[in-house]
Structure 1
């Protein structure tokens, strides 16, 4: 019938192989609304800071560690910032920073799911991704609490691990957020339909958001569990993106954008982190 909008064709919008689709966590080219799944994701991420606070402030779960003979750090002197809402938490300055990282990651990811991501998210994926992020945040928190792995040396505040970890965390999470806002604005303009975004922060690395996620994850781990944990988590995410995330997204972009993507790869040689990879 004349004037009728064409039906959505998920195959045409995501021309990748079935193997690549199964390895991806996102349905590329599909913009079907999924309010239930996104609401579950939002709530799962919003709940994480409360869990991390329970661990940091009340030692949630440390009783089990103690029964295993694992020693944990004492609470430390609470911070006095002059801000009643913060001081009422009763956390030491170091623990406040770690809690702030949990809050920051939840806020950033909930901005993404509500305002920046148009792709669908089913309830199963929402739960899985929420648990995934909470597990890594909890690893960092417990690594801080356990004496044998803690980044805190109980010396003068702030320690080098906290400084370096915080710089990496802030740099990574702001880079990821700004890059995704820039891409969203580009994609929201009808004139850019069918074109890849190659400007802004994306001109430094083709998958700058993945690289930025790797950086803030490494920084968070350094602040919690020190240099070794930071290196391990950074390597884990870097390897996952380099061997899974980037290749399957590259296949999608090659088939979706054609010559425009080929030119983008020529002008932007780095994949994840500018100057490194």
Structure 2
């Protein structure tokens, strides 16, 4: 049976108009505003029982008050926020992801980003971050739940020694987040430097982390999203988020970019796929 004509193939959904490079001030301003506004919003959810009230509104039980005891770090700003360590980590992750995405839009990316793209991307990030901020307070969903499985860390934080019993998933999630943000940002910066060199005009980027996988920045994104969820919801929540992000990127985003790069680079892209056989996860997939 003959393969379907390319004109009749289902086009994958993509908010970014690949290859169209122009300034979009309104879209840029909208996205920056939304990402910056997400930080105080997450603090609101994590502080003074806002997450607990959200869960109670839908009939879900919350953790005991002892799991929300504030942490004394000896550092002025974190201590003034009045958050326990797990919630402080979630707030830091929200701020870090906002900073990374603003850096991407204003420095690393030259493609247009209109309001029609900025708003849904901004809303998606706020929605996922908010879900983590709320679920960390749930008796059945939090990584801190007494019945959660897995090893725990014995740490003495502040003056409340009972607060030192923290799940290992907290550390694992923080490490995955840091690794993912680093991989995503570094790979995109390496690609920018490569393309800015006059000798590389019209060439496929094959330097640095791009020798590991053809879409290695997506690997970084899935890692930090999974790590973020792991801090909020434990091993299961982190794994589910990482798998969902990986599935979406591999089934949708990779197809969009493969089609775009095939048209732009031709035989170069065919050769690149031979040299770097892994799509997203180096050495695995």
TM-score, normalising length: structure 1: 0.89
Using the TM superposition, give the Cα deviation of residue 103 of structure 1 relative to its aligned residue in structure 2, in angstroms: 0.9
Which residue of the partner structure matches residue 62 of structure 1?
Answer: 52
**Is structure 2 residue 174 aligned with structure 1 residue 159?**
no
Q: 1:172 aligns with which of 180, 184, 187?
A: 180
Moved more, 76-85 or 168-177: 76-85
What are the residue-to-residue correspondences of 1:208-247 with 2, within 5 Å? 208-247=216-255
2:54–2:134 contact (8 Å) kept in structure 1 = no
Aligned-partner Cα distance in 1 for 2:261–2:218:
15
Matching residue of 2:107: 115
Correspondent of 2:41 among 45, 51, 54: 51
Task: Identify the range of structure 1 (224-233 vs 173-182) with the bigger mean alpha-carbon deviation.
Answer: 224-233
Cross-structure match for 2:3: none
Task: Tell me if the contact between 1:212 and 1:273 (Cα under 8 Å) persists in the aligned partners.
Answer: no
* 2:176 equivalent to 1:184: no
Are 1:273 and 2:281 an aligned pair? yes
Q: Map Cα deviations across residues 201-252 of structure 1 (whole Å, 9 max, x no partner).
A: 0100000011110111111111111122112211211111111110110111
**Residue 138 of structure 1: SS of its match in structure 2?**
helix
CA distance in 2, matches of 1:156, 1:188: 49
Matches of 1:236 and 1:119, distance apart in 2: 26
Q: What's the RMSD between the two structures over aligned residues?
A: 1.9
Whole-angstrom CA distance in 1 between matches of 2:78 and 2:136: 20
SS at match of 1:241: helix
Contact kept in structure 1, 2:143 and 2:230, CA below 8 Å: yes
Deviation at 1:80, TM superposition (A): 1.6
Question: After the TM superposition, which parts of structure 1 deviate over 6 Å for at least 4 consecutive aligned residues?
Answer: 16-22
Q: CA deviation at 1:59?
A: 2.7
Does structure 2 retain, via aligned residues, the 8 Å contact 1:26–1:119?
A: yes
Distance 1:99 1:70 in 2: 23
Partner secondary structure for residue 136 of structure 2: helix
Given that 2:55 and 2:134 are in contact with CA atoms closer than 8 Å, whether structure 1 keeps it comes out as no
Question: How many pairs does the alignment contain?
Answer: 262
Q: In the TM superposition, what whole-angstrom CA distance separates every residue of 1:149-185 from its partner, at most 9, and x where no partner exists?
A: 1001466344211011111111111100000110111
Distance 1:215 1:123, change over 3 A: same
Alpha-carbon offset, residue 108 of structure 1: 0.6
Correspondence for 1:5: none
- Distance 1:188-1:153 versus aligned 2 partners, 3 A rule: same
Alpha-carbon separation, structure 2, partners of 1:195 and 1:69: 56
Structure-2 residue corresponding to 1:41: 31
Identify unmatched segments of 5+ residues in structure 1. Answer: 1-15
